[in-house]
Amino acid sequence: MMGIFDKFKKKKEVKRPNLIVFEKGNVDNDYANFELKIKPRISIDEDFPQEAYQLLAGRRKEMLGQIEEIIFRNYLDETSEDLSSEVGCFPDIRYFTGNYYVVYESYGFTYRDKNYRPYHIKNGQYRNVSYKGNERQESYLPLDSDEITKYYNIFIQVGLTGMESGQEEDYMSLDLVTEIASLEDEFEFEVLSHGVM
């Protein structure tokens, strides 16, 4: 039997990510923000096939579903051991509204060798740039090299809103990236960085 006070106890509401979709067009393809309330900026590399972009655009719900799990796990789940509990730290879970929107999307290619080192095309060759200490090192492979695998590279930046000043506004940006060898592969987004907006 329910105690007399049990019905007055309010269970704390868990914040889940909620996608805000802005309807206003982005005529100049600017970076979106909460104040502008425009559709995301989209960048597609010139050698990226339109059919590939259309197919990936058709999987956008799947991409955003995975991104929402990352947002929840890393920034909204109060039981997460990854969150800092120090006052004055950034990001502070108390300020998040749970709302997010897409700021920027980029579609291109990454080329990787058998050791998963990244290459890009420069002067008709694959080029890798790395550093050993302060020393810059470059290595090249021919475009017909069987050492290289071509990956579809998808970068998505989202903005998370917060109530730091008492009204909803931009609070944090979150950069995520995934690479897939084929257009049917599963997405595995990784967090590149987060920062103040």
Question: Span 137-161, mean pLDDT?
Answer: 96
Q: Is residue 2 part of a domain?
A: no
The CA distance from 140 to 127, in Å, is: 5
Which residue is associated with the tokens 């002067």?
123
Alpha helices in 11-49 (DSSP H): none
In this structure, the answer to whether residues 67 and 140 fall within a common structural domain is: no
Q: Is residue 5 part of a domain?
A: no
Q: What is the pLDDT of residues 66-121, one digit of tens each?
A: 999 999 999 999 887 766 666 778 888 889 999 999 999 999 999 999 999 999 99
In this structure, the answer to whether residues 94 and 19 fall within a common structural domain is: yes
| CB crowding 131-144: b at 16 or more within 10 Å, else e | eeeeeeeeeebeee
In this structure, the answer to whether residues 181 and 99 fall within a common structural domain is: yes
In this structure, the answer to whether residues 160 and 179 fall within a common structural domain is: yes
For residue 10, pLDDT over 90 is answered with no
Q: Is residue 4 part of a domain?
A: no
Q: Is residue 83 part of a domain?
A: no
In this structure, the answer to whether residues 55 and 142 fall within a common structural domain is: no
In this structure, the answer to whether residues 174 and 128 fall within a common structural domain is: no
Q: Is residue 102 part of a domain?
A: yes
pTM, 2 dp? 0.87
Q: Indicate if the alpha-carbon torsion angle 14, 197, 100, 187 is positive or negative.
A: negative
Q: Structural domain of residue 127, as residue ranges?
A: 114-147
In this structure, the answer to whether residues 37 and 120 fall within a common structural domain is: no
The CA distance from 161 to 170, in Å, is: 5
Q: Is residue 9 part of a domain?
A: no
In this structure, the answer to whether residues 139 and 50 fall within a common structural domain is: no
Q: What is the pLDDT of residues 28-81, one digit of tens each?
A: 999 999 999 999 999 999 999 999 999 999 999 999 999 999 999 999 998 877
Number of domains composing the chain: 2
Q: Side-chain half-sphere of 140: how many Cα atoms within 13 Å?
A: 7
